Structures are given as C-alpha cells and as structure tokens.
Chain A
C-alpha cells in the first residue's frame, strides 16, 4: 500500500509541477486572447488538473498491491537486483545514440546486438556473431537501397559505394 501511495504522491507532485512551473514557463501567451477557452495554455491546464486529481485519488485511495509480476518487486532489494541490467540496457542505448555521429548506425548496431546477446547468456559465438552482424547490414541495405533513406555510417562513410 505504501508504494502505491508514494506513486500517487509522485503523480500529484508531477501534476503540480506541470501546472505551476512547466506551463507558465513553457507556453508563450499571445498579447490578447479572444476567449479563455482558446488560450494556448487552456488545454494543458485542464490536463494538468486531471493529473493532479488522479494523483490525489491514488494517494488517498491507493490500489492494493498485488503479487509482483516484475521480478524483485519494487522494494530496495529488488531495485538493487535490477540495477546492473538496467544500467547495461540504458547505458547501451545512450552509448549507441551518442556514437551515431562518429561511427554511424551499422557498426554500433552490430556491437550492441552482440554485446547484449553475450550479456544475456548467448554462448554460441558463430550464431551470435552472424545474427548481430547480419541484422544491421540487412537493415542498412533495406533502408538505403530499397527505401532510399540514408543511414549514417560515421567514419565508415568512405565505404559507401
């Protein structure tokens, strides 16, 4: 129950932040507005109010916590168990994103796929390497030569025929 209540409080705080901080700072208002309902911030304010209301409801009447489907649950121990995998998954994604200008998408795609397969326990190397290398190459050829979408190659741009 506590975790659900905390989730509700989080939603409530998020709603309040959107209403009082994000909307005033993020929405430019025109000099004059014909009707209040036409103002650019009218709709976002209604949405923020709904989020606040849902946050209140979740805090006041939290949902019953059911058996954890997500392994490890939401407790601190569970999160500690999940942390290495989470760090690997998110670290890989962000590393891929930041490497695109330098190395393009194909080579980082191969390395990422193989790395994740090995991390997840794949030990049949020929199969792993073939799939990890083959999928980005196939996608590259599809997008470049079938769909005419230039997939970046970074420093390997010289290889493009």
Chain B
C-alpha cells in the first residue's frame, strides 16, 4: 500500500504533470466558456496531443479539460444566458437574473465555490469507492463482464436526447462500425472490402473528431452567418465566506446528489443540477426568490452539476465502463496508451491509479485558482467570433486526425464521419450513443463470444451467477428509471 503510494507520488510529481493539469483545467474553462464549443469537443481535440505524453500526463490533461469545462459552462450561463453545457442550463435560472440585477460577480463567485466544493466531495467519493468496487469486480468472468457492459449500454437512454428510438438506432450504427476489421475468433474479414487500412478497424480518434467537432463546424457554415455575442458584464461585488455559509446546506446536498447520480452510468450532470436545484428550492427559506436571481439557486445547480465529475470516473476506473460521453472519450485515451481501466488495473497498475487520484484532487484546487484569478480573462475569450474560431478548430481536427497513425486514411475517415455526423445532426439522431456503442461494442462482442466458447454455445451462461443476475436486474431498473425520467422531461446526461 505505502510502496504503491510512494511510487504514485513519484509518478505524479513531475513538472510536466503538475503543469499539464493546470493547462487542462484552464483550457477546459475556456472551452466551456465559449458558446459553440462543447467539453466533449475540447477533450476530442486535445486527444491527439496526448499520444507522445506519458499515460498519466495525457489522462490528466483530459481530466483537467473535463473538470474545467464543467465549470466554464457556467460562466456564459451567468453572463450572457448561453450555457456552455446542458448541465449549466440550470445555472441560467438564477445566474442570469443575478447578472441583470448587477450581481454577476457574486453569481460567478458562488458558482465557483459551489463547483470546487462539489468537485472535492466527488473526488473524495471516487477515491473511497473505486477501489472497493474494483475489488468486487475481480470476481468477474466473461459472462459477468457481458452483463455489466449491457448495463453500461443503458447510458444510451440517457444520452439519446429527445427520441430514444433514434438514440438506439444511432447506437446500433456505432456497434456496426465497431465490427469493421478482422474477426476476433476466426480471423476472417468483416467489411474490409480489400482495403488493408480497415483490417485493424476504424481508429477511434478520427471517428470521435468526425462525430463531435466537424458537424458543428459544417452546420455553422450552412447557416446565415452571424456572430451575436453579447458583451460580458462583470458588474457587482463578489461573494464572501458569509455567502458560502448561507448556501452551504444546498451546496453540500447538491454535492451528494451529484455523486449519487454521477456514479450511475448515463445520468450525467443535468439531472443532478436540476434535482439539486429543486431540492434547494423546496427547502430554502428564500424559495420565493428562486428564478429571480437567488444566489442559493446558483450554488445548488453548480454543486449538483460538478458533483458528478469525480463520480463518473468510479465506473470507468473500477469497472472499465464509462459513466458519460466524456469518460467514454477518456476510456478511449486509456486504450490508445495500451491501458485497460477496470479491476485488473487496480492490481497491475495501482501506482498509476493513485497518481491519477492525486492529480484529480489537485484539479479541484486548480479550478479554484483559475476561477478566482482568471475569470475576467476567460469571459473575454467567450467573445471570440465563430468566424475565426471554427476555421481554427477545423485545422486542429485535420492535423489531429492525421497525427494518430501518420495516415491520410484517418483524415478521410474523419471527413467521412463528419458527413455522417452532420447528416445525423440534421435528422436529429444523437451522436453520443453512436460513440459509446462504438467504444463498448468490441468489449460486448468479445465477452459474449468468450462466454459462448466457455459454455459451448449455451446462452444459459449469461445467468450463471448472482453477479449476472444483479446486472440484469440493474439494467432493467436503469431502463425503467431512464424511460420514466424521459417521460417527465428531465434532461439527462449533461
């Protein structure tokens, strides 16, 4: 234990890691603050830059962007009523009215305090729970993993947007694209059509960039071109300790809600933010002011939103399954570095896990420092016009997709996936289910086929143990919950 911890400290404590995490949080906050840029897009664009980094350094960069992005989304939500992330849409409810009342600075400060506190609680829960869960998961064989991945695929219901059927169709397409390449059991060709570039399957990054960045850019150029940024108004005095104390109950409750919902795959930040907000409104002495510029409303929403950040990493690190779209991208980053998160990683690579934990804890502090001292500059960056931003992002996409394998074919894949993604956007097919299924597809098929080999073709093996039954039951419960949430119009996965 102590040897591992010491090794982790020496693994983490390099100038590169400490600096890159800071850069990640800063870049994430900037990306979150730019309307039109999303956190998954930011993480996708940063991925090619991590190839030559040490695995810990690369993953820390992505984690920093993730955490910074969650907070950055609230800046524009408060200042110009343009939430950078779906989860930040709850922050708009009281944040923007506070800006209108000349209390923007106070709203930004309390959002920052709530975000940092919730992030800290979430990180703590990750550290305490991930190891326990991973220890339990060591008992898993292929059938248990298969049922676990089936359960993880219920995320799709959470990220399907307005139409579940379209979400499932999108996921099915992702699963199909994941089957391209050599068959894992017989070594025969699947959808290769004599193109040797396809033998290893489609590379993850061109697919990711094509799906998440290109459609937004293409969409921008197909609209009547305009840039309509309001000037950010940073008026008013900031929030102090007394304000934090007044909102503490809602911040703490929001953090716990965020952790609980974040640990369940597919729920995401938006429901946590709304649930935390509604609980705060229900119990607050100032409930009549909610929606009119109540500081406690901003604090509750941001605590719920940021409380999920560390918790979504619990299923990723402990079980190897992503909790949301961004952790799905981070899972891809692990794979690119030849690592496979999950219980085995807790045995084989424990110092690396601990190093990540140290970095994750440090990211909460960085978030505070960056939010406190560079908020004015970040809110200025949100005024970068899209006519400059999108061509620059496009250049990043093209260079990034080439750099993975020095392959022009990957550039072509990225461009074609951009066309597919744009078509999906126009027809309102959500892209996140495609990506999650594309990542989980090979694991699902591999574990299914291994189970079939073990059982000589009998499907009964998929119910061989209590763990299998547990995950089948969890899948059922999750589907029922997610479908009910959809009927109540609770926005999922932000």
Chain B residue, CB-CB nearest to A122: B387
Say whether A161 faces chain B, with CB atoms less than 8 Å apart: no
Chain A residue, CB-CB nearest to B392: A135
Residues of B within 8 A of A148 (CB): 52
Q: Are A30 and B186 in contact (CB under 8 A)?
A: yes
Helix, strand, loop or mixed for chain B's interface?
helix
In the complex with contacts A28-B188, A71-B224, A142-B49, A50-B394 CB distance below 8 A? no
Residues of A within 8 A of B412 (CB): 97
Contact of B419 among A90, A100, A152 (CB under 8 A): A90
In the complex with contacts A120-B386, A122-B387, A40-B183 CB distance below 8 A? yes
- Please measure, in the bound complex, the distance between the C-alpha atom of A54 and the C-alpha atom of B173, giving whole angstroms: 11
Report A101 CB to chain B, min CB distance, Å.
7
Say whether A153 faces chain B, with CB atoms less than 8 Å apart: no
How many A-B residue pairs have C-beta atoms within 8 angstroms? Tell me: 189
Chain B residue, CB-CB nearest to A147: B52
Say whether A103 faces chain B, with CB atoms less than 8 Å apart: no
* Residues in B15-60 with C-beta less than 8 Å from chain A: 49, 51-52
Say whether B426 faces chain A, with CB atoms less than 8 Å apart: yes
Say whether B336 faces chain A, with CB atoms less than 8 Å apart: no
Instruction: Identify which of B62-70, B399-407, B470-478 touches chain A.
Output: B399-407
* Residues in A56-115 with C-beta less than 8 Å from chain B: 57-58, 63, 66, 70-72, 74, 81-82, 85-86, 88-90, 93-94, 96-97, 100-101, 105, 109, 112-114
Instruction: Pick from B169, B227, B425, B427 the residue with the most CB of A within 10 Å.
Output: B169
* Residues in A36-53 with C-beta less than 8 Å from chain B: 36-38, 40-41, 43-44, 47-48, 50-51
Report A28 CB to chain B, min CB distance, Å.
4
Q: Are A101 and B408 in contact (CB under 8 A)?
A: yes
- Please measure, in the bound complex, the distance between the C-alpha atom of A54 and the C-alpha atom of B164, giving whole angstroms: 10
Contact of B457 among A38, A71, A143, A147 (CB under 8 A): A38
Q: Are B176 and A18 in contact (CB under 8 A)?
A: yes
Report B57 CB to chain A, min CB distance, Å.
13
- Please measure, in the bound complex, the distance between the C-alpha atom of A44 and the C-alpha atom of B179, giving whole angstroms: 7
- Please measure, in the bound complex, the distance between the C-alpha atom of A113 and the C-alpha atom of B225, giving whole angstroms: 16
Report B342 CB to chain A, min CB distance, Å.
22
Residues of A within 8 A of B391 (CB): 112-114, 116-117, 120, 132
Q: Are B457 and A34 in contact (CB under 8 A)?
A: yes
Q: Are A35 and B415 in contact (CB under 8 A)?
A: no
Residues of A within 8 A of B392 (CB): 113, 131, 135
Q: Are B176 and A112 in contact (CB under 8 A)?
A: no
- Please measure, in the bound complex, the distance between the C-alpha atom of A38 and the C-alpha atom of B172, giving whole angstroms: 19
Instruction: Pick from B163, B172, B224, B453 the residue with the most CB of A within 10 Å.
Output: B172
- Please measure, in the bound complex, the distance between the C-alpha atom of A58 and the C-alpha atom of B185, giving whole angstroms: 35
Q: Are A143 and B169 in contact (CB under 8 A)?
A: no
Residues of A within 8 A of B223 (CB): 71-72, 82, 85
Encoded as 1 (CB less than 8 Å from any A CB) or 0, chain B from 190 to 226 comes to 1111000000000000000000001001111111111
Say whether B92 faces chain A, with CB atoms less than 8 Å apart: no
- Please measure, in the bound complex, the distance between the C-alpha atom of A139 and the C-alpha atom of B396, giving whole angstroms: 8
Encoded as 1 (CB less than 8 Å from any B CB) or 0, chain A from 149 to 161 comes to 1111000000000
Report A41 CB to chain B, min CB distance, Å.
8
Say whether B411 faces chain A, with CB atoms less than 8 Å apart: yes
Q: Are B426 and A149 in contact (CB under 8 A)?
A: no
Residues of A within 8 A of B230 (CB): none
Say whether B189 faces chain A, with CB atoms less than 8 Å apart: yes
Residues of B within 8 A of A119 (CB): 221, 225
In the complex with contacts A28-B189, A44-B176, A85-B162 CB distance below 8 A? no
Q: Are A55 and B387 in contact (CB under 8 A)?
A: no
Report B412 CB to chain A, min CB distance, Å.
6
Q: Are A54 and B168 in contact (CB under 8 A)?
A: yes
Q: Are A113 and B395 in contact (CB under 8 A)?
A: yes
In the complex with contacts A37-B452, A74-B426, A146-B52, A85-B222 CB distance below 8 A? yes
Q: Are A48 and B176 in contact (CB under 8 A)?
A: yes
Say whether B340 faces chain A, with CB atoms less than 8 Å apart: no
- Please measure, in the bound complex, the distance between the C-alpha atom of A72 and the C-alpha atom of B165, giving whole angstroms: 25
- Please measure, in the bound complex, the distance between the C-alpha atom of A150 and the C-alpha atom of B394, giving whole angstroms: 19
In the complex with contacts A35-B456, A93-B418, A149-B403, A82-B222 CB distance below 8 A? yes
Report B72 CB to chain A, min CB distance, Å.
21
Q: Are A63 and B191 in contact (CB under 8 A)?
A: no
In the complex with contacts A40-B190, A70-B425, A86-B221, A11-B402 CB distance below 8 A? no
Say whether B243 faces chain A, with CB atoms less than 8 Å apart: no
Q: Are B457 and A37 in contact (CB under 8 A)?
A: yes
Report B177 CB to chain A, min CB distance, Å.
10
Contact of B169 among A55, A85, A122 (CB under 8 A): A55
Encoded as 1 (CB less than 8 Å from any B CB) or 0, chain A from 118 to 149 comes to 01111000011001100110011011001111
Q: Are B399 and A57 in contact (CB under 8 A)?
A: no
Residues of B within 8 A of A33 (CB): 186
Q: Are B183 and A54 in contact (CB under 8 A)?
A: no
Contact of A37 among B395, B403, B449 (CB under 8 A): B449
Q: Are A63 and B166 in contact (CB under 8 A)?
A: yes
Report B48 CB to chain A, min CB distance, Å.
8
Say whether B127 faces chain A, with CB atoms less than 8 Å apart: no
Q: Are A109 and B398 in contact (CB under 8 A)?
A: yes
Report B146 CB to chain A, min CB distance, Å.
12
Residues of A near any B CB (own CB < 8 A): 7, 11, 18, 22, 26-30, 33-38, 40-41, 43-44, 47-48, 50-51, 54-55, 57-58, 63, 66, 70-72, 74, 81-82, 85-86, 88-90, 93-94, 96-97, 100-101, 105, 109, 112-114, 116-117, 119-122, 127-128, 131-132, 135-136, 139-140, 142-143, 146-152
Sample of 17 more A-B contacts, CB < 8 Å, known A26-B191, A116-B391, A116-B394: A7-B427, A28-B188, A43-B179, A47-B179, A51-B169, A85-B223, A105-B398, A109-B395, A113-B392, A117-B391, A121-B225, A121-B387, A127-B388, A132-B391, A135-B396, A139-B396, A143-B399
Q: List 5 interface pairs A-B (beta carbons < 8 Å), by A numbering.
A: A37-B449, A37-B457, A71-B223, A93-B415, A142-B49
Nearest 10 CB-CB pairings of A with B:
A35-B457, A120-B387, A85-B222, A54-B169, A116-B391, A82-B222, A40-B183, A28-B188, A147-B52, A85-B221
